[in-house]
Structure 1
Amino acid sequence: MDVIEWMRDSDPALRWQVERDLAGEPEEVWRATRARVPTEGFGARLLALQDADGQWAGGAFFPADFRDGEDGQPWTATTWSLKSLREWGVDASVLGDTAQRLDRNSRWEYEDLPYWGGEVDCCINGWTIANGAWLGADVSGIADWFLEHRMDDGGWNCDWVDGSTVSSFHSTLNALVGILAYEKATGASPELREARLGAQEYLLRRRLLNRLSTGEVVGRWVTAYAYPTRWRYTALRAIDYFLEANEFDGAEPDPRMAAAVEAVRAKRQPDGTWLQETHYPGREWFAVDVPPGEPSKWVTFTATRALRTWDLQRA
């Protein structure tokens, strides 16, 4: 099987990325495919579900009709929908005045806080700073929030509100992804850049895999790859982030990433694909990938790109 052609035969949200990053197509080819995302397939379907007030499912992080007791976290509300559209490559202009409508109409479920001011959860703020920078909203207050809420060990933890004083793999990576997106879109203060690099060091000291105290793998979830990734940390997500950050910073790949890279490489199937290993439960608008146990085009794309980039940078 030609794995690249197999991945390329997909929704425009994935196809343009395969064309750009793996197939080596000219810019005019992948840009033409990317321009189709808002009008075809996943992107068009999700855009059509937007409410008149700018939200999705009537809520900021949870749908308006959410009640405790559902199976898993619902993935349909505004923050999750914006995250998907941004990651699929939808141009911000397609969403028109969405940033302004959310500023007027959307409040966080936690204490009715204003949407672009952020929440108290590090992961939520990571997605919001990235979404806001993409849509042109003023999210500088969230950038300052990250400086104020960084842990002494270098990262972040969403459970700081419950008294946690040590960082979390999940929270730190989600914060890093958001901060990098903000930095690339708007620039950043020296203090925010220093915080990002320090948080990267938090993960690198743990080789993206291990507890610092014992050297053991932090959990089985660290090498269970899936798409959509939701909020979960995996070695593959971390490698993908670090390679993007290296390109932005003009830095060489850190050798402490090597074990995580090999953990990803070890999951490659004989036919060159990677499997969907899990599915995070919860209400969703529609499926965008295969069930667990089947070869995943999204996971295969991310893993193939990560290994190719790592090998090229190391060479």
Structure 2
Amino acid sequence: MVAAPLTSWLLDSDPALRWQVERDVAHEPPEVWEATRARVATEGFGARLLALQDPDGQWAGGAFFPADFDFHGPEAADGAGQPWTATTWTLNSLREWGLDPAVLRGTAELLAANSHWEYDDLPYWGGEVDCCINSWTLSNGLRLGADVTGIVDWFVEHRLADGGWNCERVDGSTRSSFHSTLNALKGLLDHEVATGGTEATRVAQRSGEEYLLQRNLFRRLSTGRPVASWVDQFCYPMRWACDVLNAAEYFRQRSLSHGTTPDPRMAEAIEMIRAARQPDGPWLQSRSLPGRVWFEVDAPVGEPSKWLTLYAIRVLDWWDAR
């Protein structure tokens, strides 16, 4: 049970967040939260992003980077942060916020005609060489009705020997990454939910899941030590970053789509999520990923985060119901 004051605090939010709170925390009937979700297109965060779409279907004039991004300037320096305003990042947000894809009717065709990746000028819906980019493009393409078959095949062909994926494979990496593997799995799960998947994609997906589960979502297989300090540093928007909350949310969604129970190898990660809860109920924004944004959608670092609180409540409710 979530305390009434905490639920009221969560409900006092943008439609992009509120409809999920109504569904997953307040347990309102579908007619309530579906009506709120429909407002994402006309109010608040969702409407603001829709108003920023370019006539050619893109946002900020680029596929992954804004058109005015200087790859040799200060914004590209280490630590400056990836800009989060271009097409892929904006489509990711609208998808996460539950925007009805019908609102973006015609966008898939516009992007096919006008958008190319900054890497080698590759066509947008054909994907790139980066597995995280390809995962987001797969998920967005499935929602918008684009032909992303080639990206599905790419994931099967580019899985690494240890079971996962790494965005630095193109630079010679042969070891999987927690971040890259989690992001790849999200795209493959969306593909499986939308199409049923193929035998090859299901094998690849299970392999990536085992990569994370064998490591308890956060430990090095070689030493058993946490892979890095970020494992329990939660942030929203999550963007590309893996932490135990983001990873647990993937397995929650996977479990719900398959009707399976939580894997016990997640137990320690779940307790890390539980331990981060504040005495009065919420979870704090632990860090932020620097970079240019259209506008802020959550609390600053150190303050209670409604988005993270929603994610954590959902994960703990799912785990505790097992």
Fold conserved (TM > 0.5)?
yes
For residue 30 of structure 1, what is the aligned residue in structure 2? Answer: 33
- Cα deviation for residue 179 of structure 1 reads 1.0
- Cα deviation for residue 293 of structure 1 reads 0.3
Separation (CA, whole Å) in 1 of partners of 2:261 and 2:318: 11
Match of 1:186 among 163, 175, 195: 195
Separation (CA, whole Å) in 1 of partners of 2:57 and 2:29: 35
- Cα deviation for residue 5 of structure 1 reads 1.2
What letter matches 2:215 in structure 1? R
- Cα deviation for residue 44 of structure 1 reads 0.2
- Cα deviation for residue 221 of structure 1 reads 0.7
Separation (CA, whole Å) in 2 of partners of 1:290 and 1:250: 34
Q: 5+ unaligned residues in a row in structure 2: which ranges? A: none
For residue 308 of structure 1, what is the aligned residue in structure 2? Answer: 317
- Cα deviation for residue 25 of structure 1 reads 0.2
Cα-to-partner distance string for 1:196-231 (whole Å, 9 max, x where unaligned)? 011100000000010000000111111100100011
Asked if 1:118 is matched to 2:133, the reply is no
Separation (CA, whole Å) in 1 of partners of 2:84 and 2:274: 29
Question: Higher mean Cα deviation, 173-182 or 43-52?
Answer: 173-182
For residue 163 of structure 2, what is the aligned residue in structure 1? Answer: 154
Separation (CA, whole Å) in 2 of partners of 1:225 and 1:172: 18
Question: Higher mean Cα deviation, 178-187 or 29-38?
Answer: 178-187
Cα-to-partner distance string for 1:231-280 (whole Å, 9 max, x where unaligned)? 11010000000011011122221100000000000000000100001111
The alignment covers a number of residue pairs equal to: 313
- Cα deviation for residue 178 of structure 1 reads 1.1
Match of 2:304 among 280, 295, 305: 295
Asked if 1:13 is matched to 2:16, the reply is yes
What letter matches 2:35 in structure 1? A
Match of 2:50 among 47, 59, 63: 47
What letter matches 2:66 in structure 1? P
Match of 2:62 among 59, 64, 87: 59
- Cα deviation for residue 186 of structure 1 reads 2.3
Separation (CA, whole Å) in 1 of partners of 2:280 and 2:314: 16
Separation (CA, whole Å) in 2 of partners of 1:182 and 1:65: 33
For residue 215 of structure 1, what is the aligned residue in structure 2? Answer: 224
| Overall identity of the aligned pairs, in % | 65
Deviation >2 Å, runs of 4+? none
- Cα deviation for residue 187 of structure 1 reads 2.4
Pairwise mapping of residues 81-100 of structure 1 onto structure 2 (< 5 A)? 81-100=90-109
What letter matches 1:249 in structure 2? H
- Aligned with 1:209: secondary structure? coil
Q: 5+ unaligned residues in a row in structure 1: which ranges? A: none
